[in-house]
Structure 1
Amino acid sequence: MSSTTKALTLLSHFSTKRPEIGLSQLCRLAGRDKATTYRHLQALETAGFVEQNPATKHYRLGPAIMHLAQVREATVPRETGAINVIKELADATGETAHVTVLSGSTLYGLSACESPHHATRAVIDINIFPLHATASGLCALAFGPEDLFQTALTKMENFTSATPATPEALADLVAHIRLTGFGQADQIYEDEIQAIAAPVFDHTGNFAGAVAVASVASRFTSELEKTIKAELTIAAHEITRNWGGVIPAQIEKAWAASTTHSNTLEPTS
């Protein structure tokens, strides 16, 4: 990994839940020493990608990020094409809905909407989605570029006791997803959270990201699963259309079979 890449990856640790990060905390998050992290932060600060809060001396995203975000949204309006869809999805399912986008070999969170139907609900508080341990990530492995699988194998962190821990276990999950058209994650990233995701495509005809619903496990039933899958197919069609794409015929066929019959979440080990 180049020095430039290492510096830029520091930006992925900032989020709406963590808008400011001190040097020592960022060292822990990135797994790097203080001298290297500080040097990278100085380079990012010079370019306007981060700035220091004068009061706290913590780092936050800089004005250059805002400019690039505005350019990105103006030229590739992904969030605009998804936000209303996931609001409707959250309302229809009563659970948290969110959208991710694939950039290179990284799956980023784009937007999320929590349903007001329940006091206890899933909270999406990550920016980068592990490919092997989230419903959206598994969708990317099943329907995205083939080399993503090898990328996932290099980052197979165990998040829970159910997280797939071997290449064979992960391959089995991906194979099942290709048959059903849905990525399913039964408490493999967080205990007590179950999620289902559907792939979305853009004008290139390629996998562009995923739309997903995350539910508190104690609320998850076969009836809720049917509802989520039915609503996900609607949402995936709408987002794909808004992004200029078309759902591939084989996925349409898999969805039709999967939503006709009750499919229980398969074990991950």
Structure 2
Amino acid sequence: MGTITKALEMLNFFSREKPEIGLGEFVRLTGRDKATVHRHLGELEENGFLEQLPVSRAYRLGPAILRLAAVRETTHPARRLLRPIVSQLADDIGELVHVSLLQGAQLSPVFHADPKCYGTQVHFDVAEMLPLHATSSGQAVLAFAAPELCERVLGGPLPRYTDETTTDRESLLAMVERARETGIGKAERTFDEEVTSESIALFDAAGQPVGALAVIVPAVRASEEKWSQIRPLLIDAARAATHSLGGVLPPSHPLK
């Protein structure tokens, strides 16, 4: 892992629940020595990716994040285009819907909507990267991704998130193949032991997967009858999402 990667990786520790992080906590989180962490923090602060609070001396995300996010959304809009589709689907089905974009060998959340129609709700962490092997979104993406990405994911360490997380290579390949045959990824208690989800990949103009649209339902009400009602709406929304991004479904896609 290069120096730049080590420094930028530290930004991923921030979340809604952890908006400010001190030097000592960064040392604990990274497992690196204090001098190295302090140097990386100084470089990130100097370039505007972090700013240090004057009283607590803790760090929070800096203004460079806002500037770059604005540039990305202006030149290659995603959130603005996908927000109405995600929100409408969530309202139509009464469950949490989220969209994520491919970032290396993980998925980065872009937008989510939850109409909060039920007492039992799904907790969704907007800062948490989604693993490809343990989520329905990951299955949907791997089903149509280049073989190199699949090998990269399945050839690396595969952490377990719940007792139901599959880490066996052949079992994962079978799950990806089912997603390729149906066009829909399905995960039951594999990333969060209390939820089940179904997802459909989103594609770019070349028909390559760039992300996924997912519906997440608490396991206590995730009956097959409910999913049979959700799927047609999810399929229509995923088609609309791919179209809004200027993409097309690949010729081999079963939902084309």
TM-score bin, normalised by smaller chain:
over 0.9
The TM-score, its normalising length taken from structure 2, stands at 0.93
Distance 1:77 1:85 in 2: 14
**Deviation of residue 148 (structure 1)?**
1.9
Partner of 1:170: 172
Distance 1:36 1:224 in 2: 51
Partner of 1:265: none
Partner of 1:141: 142
Mean Cα displacement is larger for which, 24-33 or 9-18? 24-33
Residues 26 and 184 (structure 1 numbering): CA distance in 2 closer, same or farther, change over 3 Å?
farther
Partner of 1:129: 130
1:48 aligns with 2:48: yes
Query: What letter corresponds to residue 131 of structure 2 in structure 1?
Result: P
Query: What letter corresponds to residue 175 of structure 1 in structure 2?
Result: E
> Which structure 2 residue ranges, 5 or more long, are not aligned?
none
Aligned residue-pair number: 254
Distance 1:37 1:25 in 2: 10
Partner of 1:101: 101
1:84 aligns with 2:84: yes
Distance 1:31 1:78 in 2: 35
Query: What letter corresponds to residue 203 of structure 2 in structure 1?
Result: F
**Deviation of residue 56 (structure 1)?**
2.5
Deviations 1:144-191 (A, max 9, x none): 232222332313101111101221121111111111111111000111
CA RMSD of aligned residues (A): 1.7
Deviations 1:62-116 (A, max 9, x none): 1111100000000000111111111111112211100000133332111111122
Partner of 1:22: 22
SS at match of 1:20: coil
> Which structure 1 residue ranges, 5 or more long, are not aligned?
257-269
Residues 238 and 221 (structure 1 numbering): CA distance in 2 closer, same or farther, change over 3 Å?
same
Contact 1:196/1:228, CA 8 A, preserved across alignment: no
Contact 2:105/2:132, CA 8 A, preserved across alignment: no
**Deviation of residue 130 (structure 1)?**
0.7
Partner of 2:243: 241
SS at match of 1:21: coil
Partner of 1:264: none
Distance 1:27 1:152 in 2: 28
**Deviation of residue 27 (structure 1)?**
3.5
Contact 1:114/1:123, CA 8 A, preserved across alignment: no
Distance 1:209 1:75 in 2: 18
Residues 83 and 30 (structure 1 numbering): CA distance in 2 closer, same or farther, change over 3 Å?
farther
Deviations 1:122-161 (A, max 9, x none): 1221431111111112222212232222332313101111
**Deviation of residue 31 (structure 1)?**
4.1
Residues 137 and 35 (structure 1 numbering): CA distance in 2 closer, same or farther, change over 3 Å?
farther
Contact 2:49/2:63, CA 8 A, preserved across alignment: yes
Partner of 2:120: 120
SS at match of 2:215: strand
Distance 2:229 2:21 in 1: 40
The TM-score, its normalising length taken from structure 1, stands at 0.88
**Deviation of residue 193 (structure 1)?**
0.6
